Amino acid sequence: MWPYWQRSAPLKSQDLNAMLLAIHPFKIIVSAHHRLAQQEAVAFSDLRDDPFVTMTNHYIHAQALEAYSSAGQFRPNVVYRTSDLSMVKALVRQNVGVSLLVETAVNQGDAGITALALTDVPPTLSYMYLVTRHSFHPTKRQAFFIQLFRDQAQS
């Protein structure tokens, strides 16, 4: 059993049970010193001239950046790629660039960083699933947590 699976498109598989847990939008994070830091929202195309710091291709953020840049009709200037979320935030905090992150990766307590909503129609969202194989037989503890997820997803 995987604890969750994040995708940029709905998951469909004949071999897997997939329970949708949540759908999250992406946000832009900028340094508190960035020219857009006082705004609440921004169009992705307004970032055409900004350098980008992004997660490596193993993360959903790279797919989202590709989708947003394609919709915005520009190729972002990616100055740094990393697999470390805290490094992305540190570089943005230092105003090295801006970043596109799923909203759950941004905390209210991220000092020196401002999260901006995107005004564009989202070309992609983050879908979070609990995924198991059809052949998976949960233990009592696993079944308990799966039921908790089901109850939360239905409320």
Condensed to tens digits (0 to 9), the pLDDT of residues 16-65 reads: 888 888 888 999 999 999 999 999 999 999 999 999 999 987 778 888 89
Q: What confidence score (pLDDT) does residue 44 get?
A: 93
Domain count, the chain: 2
Say what the pLDDT of residue 152 is.
79
- If asked whether residues 112 and 37 sit together in one domain, one would say yes
80 and 94 assigned to the same domain:
yes
Task: Considering only residues 111 and 126, tell me which one the structure prediction assigns the higher pLDDT.
Answer: 111
Q: Are residues 107 and 141 in the same domain?
A: no
Which pLDDT belongs to residue 4? Answer: 40
Whether residue 32 is found in the same domain as residue 91:
yes
Based on the fold, state whether residues 147 and 116 are members of the same structural domain: no
Q: Provide CB contacts within 8 A for 74, sequence distance 6+.
A: 45, 48
Q: 22-36, 82-96, 108-122: which has the minimum mean pLDDT?
A: 108-122
79 and 9 in a single domain? The answer is no
Q: What is the pLDDT of residue 79?
A: 97
On whether both 109 and 136 belong to a single domain, the answer is no
Could you tell me the residue range of the domain that residue 135 belongs to?
2-21+128-154
Same-domain pairing of 13 and 78:
no
Neighbours of 95 (CB within 10 A): 16
| pLDDT higher at 87 or 110 | 87
Output the 3-class SS for 1-58.
CEEEEEECCCCCCCCEEEEEEEEECEEEEEECCCCCCCCCEECHHHHCCCEEEEECCC
Residues 40 and 81 reside in one and the same domain: yes
Residue 10, pLDDT score: 63
pLDDT tens-digit series, residues 67-76: 889 888 889 9
Q: Residue 109 half-sphere exposure, CB side, CA atoms within 13 Å?
A: 0
- Say yes or no: 37 and 93 in one domain: yes
Q: Are residues 71 and 139 located together in one domain of the fold?
A: no
Residues 109 and 58 in one domain: yes
* CATH number where 81 lies: 3.40.190.10
Q: Which residue type occupies 42? A: V
